[in-house]
Amino acid sequence: MKLTDFESIFNQDEAPSCDVYHQFLYAVNAAARTSGLTRQGIVNRMNNALKVDDVVINETLLNKYLAPGTEKYLPAHQLPALLWAIKSIEPLNVLLEPLLFKAIDQRSQLLQKHAELQMEIEKRAQQQRDIQKTLLPNTSSN
């Protein structure tokens, strides 16, 4: 079965389970802990990324956004700033998982392209060796 044989999840009648809010919060908090930054450091980076003159995010607001029982949710347009601040796209992958997608960065794309090109080089080299064997007389039977 080829990849093109699979129907897009967007065309399926049954909706995926997209209740990932708590998993998202867990991923954000885990990335925040491993970022090496304090909450204030994350706030500073978020405000820097939002490119605004006034403080948009403060530590209290960030804590409300990241609390499991809150009614104060992170605005979607601030998500890129948060991801940059915590130095991780893993929370985005949690959001995309029900749709069977995964975010990858440009470096990962380049590494994948490099590996594909390397495999192509090896395939071509083998083809060249096979042609060479066919064209050259067998000199080992002397």
Domain residue extents for the chain: 16-99, 105-142
Q: Determine the Cα–Cα distance for residues 110 and 77; give it in Å rounded to an integer.
A: 27
Task: Report angle CA 79, 53, 31 to the nearest 5 degrees.
Answer: 30
Mean pLDDT over residues 116-120, rounded? 92
Q: What's the CA gap between 97 and 12, in Å, rounded?
A: 16
CA separation for the pair 21, 31 (Å, rounded):
15
pLDDT at 109: 78
- Residue 10 is given by DSSP the state G
Tokens matching residue 43: 């706030």
Tens-digit pLDDT profile for residues 30-59: 999 999 999 999 999 999 999 877 778 999
pLDDT in tens, 18-31: 999 999 999 999 99
| pLDDT for the residue numbered 1 | 40
